A and B are shown apart, each in its own frame.
Chain A
Amino acid sequence: MTTLPHPYFKLTTERVEPHRLRLRLFGDLDHESSDELVEALERRLEEDGEEVREVHLDFRELGAVDSMGLSAILMAHRLCEAAHVHLHLDSRPPHLDRMLTVTGTLDYLTDPCADHAPVALGDPEPPPGDRAE
């Protein structure tokens, strides 16, 4: 597979298996392209309906990621939660892992056992067990 950098952002979606949807990202995921990821995922989840159980974001050809790019990945995670679909971040380049680590989102985004309850607003404070100091 080619590893040439992509000057422009490109996104492909395919149903690799009936229950598995794969989105491959090429190029930079940043303030200019982040909306495309969210919109594409939203559309596919709506169109493909109940059958899809897993969404794989394939980052093998990913370029730079900025904060808006991370925001889009977080939104993808939230959309999957709402649809009761597992989100997998595949073939993550080191710089993406570093970003997820620094921002404290790696576990949240990659742990299949992480709490998948949708965001509930108005929670005054989480249970004390979630604290780590």
Chain B
Amino acid sequence: MDTTKTSPAGSLGLRTSWASAPYPVVLADRAGTVVELNTAASAVFSALSAGDRLRDRVPSWLADAHRRVSTERSGQRSDREPAHGPSGGRVGDRSYEAHATCGSDGDVVWWLVDDTDRRLAEEALHGERQRTSFLAEASNALLSSLNVNRCMEVTAQLAATHLADAAVIIAPGKGRRHPMTSCVGSGEVVRSIVDIDTTSMPGLSEALQGFPPVPSRWIDPASAPEWVVPEEMDGAVGSVVITPLPGHGTPGGALVLLRTSGHTAFSEDAEVFARLFAARAGAALAAARMYSEQSSVTTTLMRELLPPSLHQVNGVEFAGGYRASGQSDRVGGDFYDVHPGAGEDQESLAVLGDVCGKGLEAAVLTGKIRNTLHALLPLADDHARMLRLLNTALLNSHHTRFATLVLASAARCEDFTRLRVTSAGHPAPLIVRRDGSVEEAATAGSLVGVLRTIKSTTTTIDLAVGESCLLFTDGITEARGGPLGDEMFGESRLREALGECAGMPAEAVVERVQMLAADWVGRGVHDDMAVVAITTPRPDVFSAMTRGAAGRRPA
């Protein structure tokens, strides 16, 4: 190997042009010894001069690239460029791309191009892309659940994995007690309720009040209270940032990001980014909170309004069925109740009704009607009077929301059930006789809640064994469906269906009617549907099914 070579000026004609080239140029021989370098190269590699070994003076990426190119070239005698592309790497705080040109004698000229700015731009772009994709991922993860706790867990997890070493979320609480969710690295999420003084941490009480809006702020790690540092965190806390989680007009809580002292502190970029993340997390948390409040209101109302399970009372069989409108989860306007008679010979009162409209106002009116009727039970021997009192209680000068209902008082006599039935603006109940004939109860009256005076007629019906009286809401008769999808189920179909229910127990009657109406509707939308059947049970069924009527003599 020849290490005493001089410049290959003859073959490449460098000497004349390269010395003053604006780019660093280094000429090295096959063995990796520097032959010559220009002024620009001297500026970059300050310690480098001719005769030095590359490996000792330049970064290893360049020395390695030189070795690779030289090895490739040995044995070949060609002037063409090496097969692989340019190498690249850092020199100090700059970064360069190194292009090689090979001389016929095995020398290599390295042309270095400063690509620091391009690389920085590329890095920034890459970072920006990563953040965007993280924010998109975060939004997806955050919005995939409307559960507040799950939302806080996801927020803590994402923040601890991507933004800091540990993340703590403090939610607005009751008094001094605040729900806290924390996560360290990719570890488990820990939920707890802490009893804290929010003023013990700078910026926390403002963030929890939500107003005035406060920017995220740095906190002296030494002043961070002990409770905010998760136990699982390794090492001392190096930096702390607190960022408010903005809600929709309501405070969403505070996000605290912590980094250990071994880690780089938060850059300004990271802080801005944390704020972007906090905005998304806050919005998701606010949506989840709003949803959970709404759903708890609905659940509370529904619990009160859920139809009771019915059974045999004092020798009379009651069964009820309710199918809520599939259109939404809003509380519907149909309801029914059965108030068992106090003694064996006392009448039980069945009520089935339909409040106009849907939603909260309908639910409130429904509750009012059910409570009022319950209070009026001692007057149930006079339906008309009961309805008049109910009507007066409901009258309201602000709106004309009304209800229609049917009252049915039932008492078991020897071998039949005596019914007193009164309609208040409601479709008259249908009676199915033992022979399958169906008749309408001869009762009519005014709706309740709007008119100053109301009228009603009460009818008395005797149900023999196996005969039933069906109370229903117009959700059944007005159910649209059928072969063309737009025909009403109608009263004639209901009568026909009922005709087949002669001799059936009350529960079977309800099931049959509900099934036929559901089949009729198919997948179409329908209103609430409520049905109650009152049946005189067969003696065998009667004795076998009697509940809460011990000692009663079977018919």
Chain A positions within 8 Å of B, measured between CB atoms, are 31, 66-68, 70-72, 74-75, 78, 102-105, 108, 115, 117, 119-121, 123-126, 130-133
Contacts and interface: CB of A to CB of B under 8 A. Distances in A.
Contacts of B425: 102-105
Interface in B64-112: none
A74 B392 CA distance: 16
Contacts of B388: 125-126, 131
Contacts, number: 90
Interface string B326-348: 00000001000000000000000
Given A31-B357, A68-B356, A133-B384, A121 B446 contact: no
A123 B451 CA distance: 12
Contacts of A74: 400, 402, 450
Contact of A71 (B356, B384, B385, B444): B356
Given A67-B357, A133-B458, A115 B400 contact: no
A75 to B, nearest CB: 4
A121 B451 CA distance: 11
Contacts of A70: 356, 402
B401 interface: yes
A125 B392 contact: yes
Contact of B452 (A67, A71, A117, A132): A117
Contact of B451 (A67, A71, A108, A131): A108
B455 A102 contact: no
Contacts of B453: 115, 126, 130
A131 B426 contact: no
26 contacts: A67-B356, A70-B402, A71-B356, A71-B400, A71-B401, A71-B402, A74-B400, A74-B450, A78-B400, A102-B426, A103-B404, A103-B425, A103-B446, A104-B424, A104-B444, A104-B446, A104-B447, A104-B456, A105-B446, A108-B446, A117-B452, A121-B397, A125-B392, A126-B388, A126-B452, A131-B455
B397 A31 contact: no
Contacts of B358: 31
A115 B385 CA distance: 20
Given A71-B400, A78-B400, A104 B392 contact: no
Chain A interface, >50% SS class:
loop
A68 B527 CA distance: 13
A71 B402 CA distance: 7
B357 to A, nearest CB: 5
Interface string B391-422: 01001110111101000000000000000000
Interface residues of B, number: 35
B138 interface: no
Contacts of A126: 388, 452-453
A123 B404 contact: no
B3 interface: no
A74 B426 CA distance: 16
Contacts of B389: 125
Which residue of A78, A117, A120, A131 has the most chain B CB atoms within 10 A of its CB atom?
A131
Which residue of B354, B392, B396, B447 has the most chain A CB atoms within 10 A of its CB atom?
B447
A102 B11 CA distance: 112
Contacts of A78: 400, 450
Contacts of A117: 452
A57 to B, nearest CB: 15
Nearest to A72: B400
Nearest to A127: B453
Contacts of A125: 385, 388-389, 392
Nearest to A109: B451
Interface string B437-474: 00000001111001111111110000000000000000
B376 to A, nearest CB: 13
A131 to B, nearest CB: 6
B445 A104 contact: yes
Interface in B342-367: 354, 356-358
